[in-house]
Amino acid sequence: MAVNRTTQAALTIALSLFVILTFALAVTTYLFFSKRQEADQAQQAAVAGAAEAQAAMQATKDEMATLRGIIGVGADVPIADVETGLAKLFEGDFQGFAGDEKSYLKLIEWLRAEFRSKSEAVQKAEEAKQVSVTKATADVKAAQDALETAKAAEAKAKADLDAATKQFAESRTAHETQQGKLLDGKRSEEEKARDLESLKVQIVGVGEYLPPAKRAGLEAKKPEEQLEVIRNELRNQSKEITRLNELLTVARIADPEVQEAIANLRPATDRIDGVDGRVADVDARSGTVLVSCRSTGGIRPGLVLHVFPPDGQRPQFGDRKAVIEVTEIEGPNLVRAAIRREDSRNPILSGDGVASSLWAPGVSPAIVIVGFADLDRDGRSDAEGLAELVRKAGGRVMDSVATDTAMVVDLGQPASGGTTDEVPGWANEAKRRDRGLKTAKLYGTRVGSLDTLLDMLGLDADSFTAGRLPRDRTDGRFPARR
């Protein structure tokens, strides 16, 4: 009985637990299904909200894509970069933007206003340009008209200038012709005047050789009367010489001793007629000398002078001690000359005599050059070149021998002897040479050779080679001063 009672109690407890558990399960199930229903409703609501948010976000993305497309910004460009780019635009290219709100719409409005303003300015500029073009067209036409007028005026002026130039050339030619004639006349008159002065000097010099009875009162006579007196005296002397020659011929002087004695009476060397000046000072440092003379008239730079010892008025030409060349005329009585050759054993001293066959105080001696000399070996005569050297040195070169001729230079004859036609013009020159030498013999004029002339000029024949100018001679006796 006891066991049954325990079993019944146990069953009662189990049943109670079952009832309690069943109630708890029922409550729990109720609660679970109630929460589940609320959760499903909340989930449905959340899904609906998410769908709406997704739709809104997609719409926003579409709008943003549209805006990016409108402003030209790619989808991968961050908004911050877009804002930075916009700020740079306003700070850089669009600094003139005056609005406070800096956005693309405001920028577009500002650009539209600016474009409108610029368009109006451009339109006004186009209108002004059109006006300018119209005016420029008119100005161009006016300029073309003026140019045509100027061309016509230029053509007329050129024609007038050509005519004036032609007339001027004709007038100038006529003037030069007339001037040439006047200069030729002037030179001729000056030559005549010089010849007359030279003749007067020569007459005075020749008068010294007249007998005292005929010399008295000679200077008071006119030049032509003086010449007549001298001519008569020369005629008488010529007759006396002819008579004496006839006597010598009759005497037939053939004794060698007599002939030698007569030969010894002739001077061993030529003598100069007299010194033309004196050495006043010698400057050894510059190699120049100062020469004093009665007058520097007729002296030219380049004149070669010979220096002689101070003693004697008519020294021998071989006694010269130096050669100098005039470089400057320092006054009416002084000239400066450079030392070209000097004997170091017998130097130039103050008081030495100076002379030249190409010049005398106030007179330019006349020289006649005859014959043939081919110094540069080109087959032609160099007589004209020698004549030009004499002129540059201050001398006068005449065509024929006269009473005032200081010297006749005989160049000799061609190597062929003048018997062939290989030397053009030699036949006429040979006749002129014979005539000049005979006249010189008749007048007693000194006859010198080519070497004599070159020596007076300070040159030598070796200096004349084809294509070269004459150079100074520096032989052993007269070494050039260093």
Which is more confident, 3 or 350? 350
How far apart, in whole angstroms, are the C-alpha atoms of residue 480 and residue 338? 11
pLDDT of residue 345: 87
- Tens of pLDDT, residues 14-27: 888 888 888 888 88
C-alpha to C-alpha distances, 443 to 325, 366, 429, nearest whole angstrom: 31, 14, 21
Q: What are phi and psi of 278, to 5 degrees?
A: -130, 150
Q: What is the DSSP-derived secondary structure letter of residue 460?
A: -
Exposed / middle / buried, residue 221 (Cβ in 10 Å: 0-12, 13-18, 19+) = middle
How far apart, in whole angstroms, are the C-alpha atoms of residue 147 and residue 153? 9
**Range with the lowest mean pLDDT among 75-79, 265-269, 351-355, 418-422?**
265-269
pLDDT of residue 44: 85
For residues 285-302, average pLDDT: 84
Type and span of the H or E element at 16:
helix 2-71
Strand 353-355 versus strand 304-308 pairing type: antiparallel
pLDDT of residue 259: 45
pLDDT of residue 347: 92
Identity of residue 186 = K
Neighbours of 387 (CB within 10 A): 20
For residues 139-163, average pLDDT: 88
Task: Kindly indicate the confidence band of residue 267, based on its pLDDT and cuts at 50, 70 and 90.
Answer: very low
pLDDT of residue 258: 52
State the alpha helices, DSSP H only, in 284-425.
Answer: 383-392
Task: Kindly indicate the confidence band of residue 482, based on its pLDDT and cuts at 50, 70 and 90.
Answer: very low
CB 315 within 8 A of CB 271: yes
Residue pointed to by tokens 């005047």? 193
CB 468 within 8 A of CB 461: no
Check residue 337 and give left, alpha or beta (phi > 0: left; psi -120 to 50: alpha). Answer: beta
Token pair listed for 272: 């100069």
Per-chain mean pLDDT for the chain: 76
- The fraction of the chain above a pLDDT of 70, given in percent, is 74
Token pair listed for 468: 């070269």
Closest C-alpha to 114, from 100, 127, 96, 102: 96
Residue pointed to by tokens 């002897």? 417
Q: Which residues lie below 8 Å from residue 473, measured CB to CB, with a gap of 6+?
A: 341, 454, 458, 459, 460, 462, 463
Which is more confident, 351 or 198? 351
How far apart, in whole angstroms, are the C-alpha atoms of residue 209 and residue 215? 8
Token pair listed for 274: 């007299």
182, pLDDT greater than 70: yes
How far apart, in whole angstroms, are the C-alpha atoms of residue 352 and residue 293? 12
Neighbours of 395 (CB within 10 A): 25
Closest C-alpha to 292, from 327, 340, 336: 336
Strand 366-370 versus strand 304-308 pairing type: unpaired
Task: Kindly indicate the confidence band of residue 213, based on its pLDDT and cuts at 50, 70 and 90.
Answer: low
pLDDT of residue 265: 47
- Tens of pLDDT, residues 201-210: 666 656 655 6
CA 79 to chain centre: 78
- Tens of pLDDT, residues 113-147: 777 777 888 888 888 888 888 888 888 988 888 88
- Tens of pLDDT, residues 236-251: 777 777 666 666 555 5
473, pLDDT greater than 50: no
- Tens of pLDDT, residues 314-339: 677 677 889 898 898 888 888 999 99
Q: Which residues lie below 8 Å from residue 449, measured CB to CB, with a gap of 6+?
A: 409, 410, 411, 412
261, pLDDT greater than 60: no
C-alpha to C-alpha distances, 296 to 196, 301, 328, 405, nearest whole angstrom: 19, 11, 11, 21
Number of DSSP helices (H) and strands (E) in the chain, helices first: 9, 10
**Range with the lowest mean pLDDT among 86-90, 292-296, 376-380?**
86-90
Q: What angle do CA 300, 306, 307 make, to 5 degrees?
A: 125
98, pLDDT greater than 70: no
Which is more confident, 284 or 67? 284
Strand 277-283 versus strand 353-355 pairing type: antiparallel
Which is more confident, 361 or 399? 399
Q: What are phi and psi of 353, to 5 degrees?
A: -80, 150
pLDDT of residue 288: 94
CA 424 to chain centre: 42
For residues 219-223, average pLDDT: 72
Q: Which residues lie below 8 Å from residue 410, measured CB to CB, with a gap of 6+?
A: 370, 371, 433, 437, 447, 448, 449, 450
